[in-house]
Structures are given as structure tokens and as C-alpha cells.
């Protein structure tokens, strides 16, 4: 016989996710936190969780793999324009 788990408060679950996320689980954890956020009953409840959601977003940005130039396209330096001279 399976035992049903009691429904956790979405705020408490988002808080738990924030404190237990790792570099390896961040994408899954953000997806779960967003799902919980959409099931919150009011704007006030969602506002309470906003700080943890911002924190998860910051962690994902911090842990995102970086390519050349930090994941952005490399900047191309402009060449100086040389005036043409007449040889004569």
C-alpha cells in the first residue's frame, strides 16, 4: 500500500529548492520552482517567493558554462582607417 505524502506549501518547497540546489541540478530545480510558483494562490504569495526565484536565477547565471568572452560573441576590433597617399 502506497502512502500519500502531504502537500507541501509551495513557498516552503521553493525555499527548500533554493537552499539545496547544486550546479548539476539547477535547471531541474528552476523548472520545479516555476511550476510551484504558478500554483500559488495569490500575488502576495508569489511576491514572498520572488527573492528565492531571483536567487535561483542568479545561481544559474553564475554556474552557466562560459565559452570565449564569457558566453558572448567576441568583439571585433575596428581597424584604423589609413589615408591613401598618391605616389607620384
d(CA 21, CA 30): 9
Mean pLDDT for 68-80 is 61
pTM over 0.85: no
Bin 71: left if φ > 0, else alpha if -120 < ψ < 50, else beta: left
The reported pLDDT for the residue numbered 65 is: 76
Q: What is the reported pLDDT for 78?
A: 67
Amino acid at each position: 500500500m502506497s502512502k500519500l505524502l502531504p502537500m507541501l506549501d509551495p513557498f516552503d518547497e521553493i525555499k527548500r529548492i533554493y537552499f539545496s540546489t547544486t550546479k548539476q541540478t539547477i535547471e531541474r530545480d528552476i523548472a520545479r520552482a516555476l511550476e510551484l510558483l504558478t500554483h500559488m494562490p495569490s500575488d502576495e504569495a508569489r511576491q514572498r517567493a520572488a527573492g528565492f526565484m531571483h536567487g535561483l536565477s542568479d545561481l544559474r547565471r553564475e554556474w552557466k558554462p562560459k565559452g570565449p568572452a564569457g558566453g558572448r560573441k567576441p568583439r571585433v576590433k575596428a581597424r584604423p582607417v589609413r589615408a591613401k597617399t598618391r605616389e607620384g
